[in-house]
Structure 1
Amino acid sequence: MNSTNVNDWGSLESMPPPREVWDVSPDNFKQKITDIYQPAVLRGFAANWPIVKNAQISDSTLRQYLRGFDSQKPLQLVNLPSHTQGRMFYDQSLTGMNFKVAQATLAQGLEEMQRFAEGSTSDRFCLQSIRIKDYLPALESQLNNPLLPQSRPFIWIGNKVTVAPHFDEAHNIAIVVGGKRRFTLFPPEQVKNLYVGPLEFTPAGQPISLVDLRAPDIAQHPKYVQAFKHGLSVELEPGDAIYIPSPWWHHVESLSNLNVLINYWWSGNKVSTALPFPMLIHAIQALKSQPYEQQQAWKSMLEHYLFDKDTDPGEHIPQAAKGILGQYTDKVSHQVHQWLAKLLG
C-alpha cells in the first residue's frame, strides 16, 4: 500500500458503526452502557430538549435561541484560517498551532460563525468546551439528563470544524443538539498505531493523533492501516448522543455550517492527583532516563501492584494498615492526595 488516497482502502463512512442502545434509563444505565467497555449510540436521547427543537427549525432560530442565554462573559473564540479547512491542528513544525484565539462574547462568536455560513469569510470559528453553569447558566435547567444528574454540562459551538483523534480522562456522553457530527473511534490499544503527537504541548489539553483521517499519508503513517481496521464511525443528528468510555480515542467532525454539541464528563476520580494522564507524564519523566534494567524493575512493580488481578498485593497487611492497597474509600483517596501533593509540591 503506497498510495495516500484513502479511497484506495476505505473511508470513514465504510467503518462499522458503534452499537446502538435503546430504552436506557437510570435503572439500567450501568448494565446497558457503563459495564460494557464499548462506545454506544443513543438515538433520539435529547429529541425533546428545547435547544434541539429550535435547531430543527433553522440555524437562524438556533442562533437566536442561544443568544438568549448570553451572559456577556468573554469566551475563547477559536479562529481557523481558510488554509486549515477547519482542522484544529499544529503548525508545520509542531511547535505552534494553526489557529488563533481571541476574546468574544457568545453573541459575537455566533456572528463570526454566521459570516462563514453566509460566505462572507472563509475563516471558520468555534467556541470549545464552555462550562454551561458559568457562562450560560439559564440554559442548564432546559437540559434534562436523568442518567447523569450530578454531572455538569459543557457546550461546543462552531462551523465545520474537525478535532483530531484524542482521548478524555473521564467517560463522556456527547449529545448533538444542532447540525450533524461524525464520530470516529479507536480502542485504547490502538495508541501504538495512531502516531500521537507531543504529550505536554497540545492544541486543547489532550494529546492528539497526527494522522489526518480524511487524507492519511500512509507512507508517513503506515501503522494507521491497523488502527483503521479497528475503528468505528457514525454520523449523529440533532438529539442523538454517543457514550465514549475513557480513554477511547475519538475524532470529531462537525459537518454543518452551525454545529452545537453538549457533553457530560464523569469519572470516579475525586481528587486531582487521581487523574491518569498526569500519571503517565510523571511516569515518563521518572523512568525514561533510567537504565533499562531499572525500567524493567518498575514495570514489575506496576504489574504486581496494579495489573495482576489474580493476587492481592496487600493480603499480608492488616486491613486497618493497608492504606491505598485496601478498600479505596473517600478518606483514603484524600489522604493519598495530600501525601502526593506534599511530595510533588
Structure 2
Amino acid sequence: MFDRLASVRVLEGCSPDALPLAKLLEDGLPTVLKGLARDWSLVRAGLESPQAAMDHLRAHYDGRPVTYSWGEPATAGRPFYNAGFTALNCEVRRGGLDQVLDGLASYLDDPRPPTFYVASLLVDTCLPGLRAGNDLDFAAQGVDAPPAIWIGNRVTASCHYDAPNNIACCAVGRRRFTVFPPEQIGNLYPGPLEPTPGGQAVSVVDFSAPDFERYPRFRQALETAQTVVLEPGDAIFIPSMWWHHVQGQDPFTVLVNYWWTSMPAWVPTPMHALYHALWTIRDRPEREKQAWREVFEYYVFGPADRAGAHLPEPARNILGPFDETMARRMRALLIGKLNR
C-alpha cells in the first residue's frame, strides 16, 4: 500500500542550531529534515548497536519511575482497542526505565515480542543531561519546546493528529510516517474520544490490512496521503492538526520530538470548546444547528476583528484582542456559568 503513496517533501542542509521554523510554518506542509540529528550522540550509539543506544540512555537515567504500555504478543506492537472499542488492548504499567530497556533487550531477536512503549516522556524529567548532545536549538528562536522521548520496539502509533506543531527526530531505528491533511478526518474514521491509546482520537483503520468494505472512505484518504521512512538522524516536521500514522520498523526504536504552538500559554486547547459544543450544539434540531454555524462563523471562524469592529474599543470586551488578564476573566466567567 505504502509504495503507491506520494512521498513527503524533503529539505536538505538543516542543522540543529539553524532550524527553518519560519519557512516550515509559512509553508504549512509536512517536511523531512534530512540528517537534522545525524550528529547526536544517541544516534551514533544506535548506529553502533541497540545495546549501545540502551547503555547511552541508562547513563542518563535518574531512576524515576516511568509510565509505559505493555501488551501481549498478540497486540503486534499496536496499542489499540478491544473488539468493542470500550477498553484498550494494552496494560498501562509503571516501573523503572532500566527495566523497560531490559525487557526490550530480551526480545530483540523475537519475531513476536510483547509490546513495550514509553510514550512522550519528558527528557529533562528522567534523562537529565541527555540534551547536552542530543537537542535542537529552539531557544535561539525564542520558542519553548521541551523535548519528549518515545522508546519501544516495532510499535505502531495509530493515525492521529496533534494540536501543536511537531518536529520528530528519528534517533534509533527506522520509522515510517504516513501523513494526511486535516480535512481527511471523516475519511480516516476516528475512534472514541475517550479512552484513547495516547491522548488523542485515533483512526480505527488497520493500515496493515485496511478493511475497505467496512471503511470505504479510507480509499479517498489514501489519495491524499504522503509517506516516508526516516533513517536514524532524520527528522520530520508535522504541521498542527495534520494526521500522522507512525510505525517503528526495527526491534528497538527511539524518537525525540518537540511540540510547540504559536499561541501563548494562557490560551487553552480548542478541545475544551469541542467537548462543550458536542454537549450543547450537536443534538439540536438541524435548523438550530445551521443558525449556530452562522454564529460561530461570525464570531470565531471569520476575521478576528470583525465582530467588534463596529463598536467603540472600550465596549468590545471579549470581542477585542485577548491578553492574559482577559483570559483569566474568561476562565472565571465560564466556570461561573458552568457551575450554575
TM-score between the two structures when normalised by the length of structure 1: 0.91
Aligned-partner Cα distance in 2 for 1:24–1:33: 12
1:279 match: 273
2:66 match: 75
Runs (5+) with no aligned partner, structure 1:
1-10
1:151 match: 145
Contact 1:29 1:147 survives alignment (8 Å): no
Code of the aligned partner of 1:205? G
Q: Sort the Cα spacing of 1:342 and 1:225 in 2 relative to 1 into closer, same or farther, 3 A.
A: same
Q: Sort the Cα spacing of 1:341 and 1:52 in 2 relative to 1 into closer, same or farther, 3 A.
A: farther
2:193 match: 199
Partner residue of 2:227 out of 214, 229, 233: 233
2:331 match: 337
Q: 1:93 aligned to 2:87?
A: no
Which residues of 2 match residues 216-227 of structure 1 at below 5 A?
216-227=210-221
Contact 1:187 1:248 survives alignment (8 Å): yes
Which residues of 2 match residues 34-183 of structure 1 at below 5 A?
34-119=25-110, 122-147=113-138, 150-183=144-177
CA offsets per residue over residues 10-44 of structure 1, 9 Å max, x none? Answer: x1232112211234477773442011121111011
Aligned-partner Cα distance in 1 for 2:101–2:18: 38
Aligned-partner Cα distance in 1 for 2:215–2:263: 35
Contact 1:126 1:159 survives alignment (8 Å): yes
2:7 match: 17
Aligned-partner Cα distance in 2 for 1:267–1:155: 19
SS of the aligned residue for 2:108 comes to helix
1:70 is displaced (CA, Å) by 1.5
CA offsets per residue over residues 148-206 of structure 1, 9 Å max, x none? Answer: 55210100000001111011121111101000000001101000101111113211210
How many positions carry a matched residue from both structures? 335
Q: Sort the Cα spacing of 1:338 and 1:56 in 2 relative to 1 into closer, same or farther, 3 A.
A: farther
2:20 match: 29
Code of the aligned partner of 1:41? V
Superposition CA RMSD, Å: 2.1
Moved more, 184-193 or 271-280: 271-280
Aligned-partner Cα distance in 1 for 2:14–2:317: 37
Contact 1:174 1:242 survives alignment (8 Å): yes
Moved more, 16-25 or 220-229: 16-25
1:185 match: 179
Aligned-partner Cα distance in 2 for 1:333–1:30: 27
Moved more, 165-174 or 196-205: 196-205
1:98 is displaced (CA, Å) by 1.0
Contact 2:266 2:327 survives alignment (8 Å): no
Q: Sort the Cα spacing of 1:230 and 1:206 in 2 relative to 1 into closer, same or farther, 3 A.
A: same
Runs (5+) with no aligned partner, structure 2:
none
SS of the aligned residue for 1:253 comes to strand
Aligned-partner Cα distance in 1 for 2:305–2:125: 46
Aligned-partner Cα distance in 1 for 2:129–2:21: 29
2:285 match: 291
Q: Sort the Cα spacing of 1:337 and 1:273 in 2 relative to 1 into closer, same or farther, 3 A.
A: farther
